Chains A and B, each alone.
Chain A
Amino acid sequence: MAESVFSEKKFFIYFQVWWVIAAVFQYFIIRQKAFDNFHILTDAISSNLILGMICYFLANNMRYYLPREEKYWYIIISSIIVCFIWLILIQLVFNIFFPDGDAYLQFYKSTYAIRFGAGFLLVSSINMFSLLLYNQQAQKEITARQSETEKLNREAELTKLRQQLQPHFLFNSLNSISSLTASSPEKARQMIQQLSEFLRGMLKKDDEKFISLKTEMQYLNLYLEIEKVRFGHRLQTEILYSQQEENALLPPMILQPIVENAIKYGLYDTLDEVLISIKGRLDDHQLIITVTNPYDPESGRGPRGTGFGLSSIRRRLFLLYSRKDLVQVSELENLFTTELRIPQL
């Protein structure tokens, strides 16, 4: 249910001031006729007090029954009815305060039309105004609900993008473990340890939106250790960043898919040893991370940088920073470089 328009204190004060002004106006208008202050004041105060109370009641009630926007006739009809009742109520008040045959009663009868008109304008405008306020309130609620839904969707998508794991990697790692259990159980146990820790990091719910580069690199190292067991000496890695960048923040598990891509293309494009290099630096409030791998332009795998890994990274960064230019790829002399820019807020 909507909140009453009068629950806002400021509005209630304006509402009261409005009726005082209306009463003052009426006082000065009727004073032009030859009546004493008692009559004029009684009229001004009672007329506006009654009408004010009626309006308060109407506007307050509108929160239980809010006419749809197209039902403006509801406001007109209710205003007309209210004005009739209002005129009768004034008559009753006058009957109490003024003796029978008082000249003011005669005057009152002669001003029915103009009072009705003025009352109608006042009531309908207040009704209309509160209707608009209620509609605005409803609109705000809808918007709030929508943005809440959007936020939830966004978060679900972010989690999904983060938790993407190549089944290929998992099954090949398990196969390596299976092989190691016979030849060197100690190593197998170590690899299970690393794989579990890596998976735990990956499956973690997004309790923290950003982690430090240092922590991210720890996860990345777990991944690299596993891959090194799989590929043996063929896979070489170098990680370069200084203490200055250690505490720079980035979304968790954002580097792994990029490095996975680099390993995949590096290892499957060449027969020799492959050096994957990962470098981090800070530049103009941005953490810049470059991942470089050798590749073979003649491999016929088609244009790079369109793969699923990179597109999901792009999507993640877009959801987080509303920017589409944070992932860049370049190819130079058999070296493929992916550059990631993470704004430091």
Chain B
Amino acid sequence: MIKAIIIDDEPLAREIIKEYLQTNNDVEIIAECNDGFEGMKSIQKLQPELIFLDIQMPKINGFEMLELVENPPAVIFTTAFDEYAIRAFDQNAIDYLLKPFSKDRFEQALKKFQQTNSVGPVQNILEEAALSPIQQNRIVVKDGTKIKIIPVTKIYYLESADDYVKIISAEGTFLKNRTMSFYENSLAQFHFIRIHRSYIVNSQLITRIDPFEKDSHTVLLNTGQRLQVSKTGYTKLKEALGF
């Protein structure tokens, strides 16, 4: 039996999946969750092999929930978003079901999962999700057992820290299990610039750029922090700020 969890804030949307599964003896629904928080806890606790995940949900959306889960299981997205918005995940999600979906389509998705039968590369899904129009301008982080939502405007800068990225914000400093290039790409639309191998800065906070040694510069943020700028970083700054 495949253990699965349904995460969707609409009761009737959960019903339909259970109904489609009534005649299926391979999949067992071990939990139903109303929102991302519940979903995260259930995944951690019950370790399902598969989740049916809605994208738009209270507090945190489906992608944000996935980000917070360590070793996420295989995902079949169920959503009413149009195909255009969701197409990006085609490659990486097991499948996505556009609501309302038929039983045939649902079974097709399950079959795909059973054939692949390996945990999908969720990291890749998230990298693509971060660039999709569905994504909001915020980052969700774990602060001990609490979950914090940080608007990108409150982030000062990001610093690489071994396998993690340190997020320095008005709400405090947090570690995320991501790569610098992930944030370099996903935050570019919010005026964040990679100024150094180790730094991505919120360019709207820059108050001054000073020369520093040979071929390099520093930026001063209006929060008082000073960060080093590499030669290529300086070129990017020049381009973005137009000086």
Contacts and interface: CB of A to CB of B under 8 A. Distances in A.
A268 B101 CA distance: 23
Contacts of A175: 10, 12-13, 16, 80, 99-101
B70 interface: no
Contacts of A299: 59, 138, 149
A53 B72 CA distance: 98
B10 to A, nearest CB: 5
Interface stretch (A3-11, A84-92, A225-233): A225-233
Nearest to B139: A300
Contacts of B16: 175, 178-179, 182
A171 B35 contact: no
Contacts of A268: 56-59
A267 B82 contact: no
A3 B34 CA distance: 74
B27 interface: no
Interface size class of B (residues with CB under 8 A): 20 to 34
A183 B19 CA distance: 9
A229 B11 CA distance: 9
Contact of B100 (A171, A182, A230, A231): A171
Contacts of A271: 34-35, 37, 58-59
A172 B99 contact: yes
Contacts of B9: 231, 234, 267
B58 A269 contact: yes
Interface of A is mostly: helix
A167 interface: yes
A230 B12 contact: yes
A229 to B, nearest CB: 7
A180 B149 contact: no
A171 B58 contact: no
B90 interface: no
A176 interface: yes
A230 B138 CA distance: 27
A171 to B, nearest CB: 4
A174 interface: yes
Interface string A225-252: 0000111101000000000000000000
A178 B106 CA distance: 13
Nearest to A171: B80
B153 interface: yes
B100 A300 contact: no
B100 A174 contact: yes
Contacts of A230: 10, 12
Interface in B4-42: 9-13, 15-16, 19, 34-35, 37
B59 A269 contact: yes
B93 to A, nearest CB: 18
Contacts of A33: none
A283 interface: no
Contacts of A186: none
Nearest to B153: A302
Nearest to A168: B80
Interface string B76-87: 000011100000
A178 B10 CA distance: 13
A301 interface: yes
A300 B35 contact: no
A229 B59 contact: no
B100 A301 contact: no
A300 B137 contact: yes
A270 interface: yes
B11 A174 contact: no
Contact of A182 (B19, B34, B57, B153): B19
Interface string A160-200: 00000001100110111111101100000000000000000
A172 B151 contact: no
B109 interface: no
Interface string A71-96: 00000000000000000000000000
13 contacts: A167-B80, A171-B80, A179-B16, A183-B19, A232-B10, A268-B58, A269-B59, A298-B149, A299-B149, A300-B149, A300-B151, A301-B137, A301-B138
Interface of A: 167-168, 171-172, 174-180, 182-183, 229-232, 234, 267-271, 296, 298-302
Given A171-B98, A174-B100, A230-B10, 11 more contacts: A167-B80, A168-B81, A174-B99, A176-B12, A178-B16, A178-B100, A179-B15, A267-B9, A271-B37, A299-B149, A300-B137
Interface of B: 9-13, 15-16, 19, 34-35, 37, 56-59, 80-82, 98-101, 136-138, 149-151, 153-154
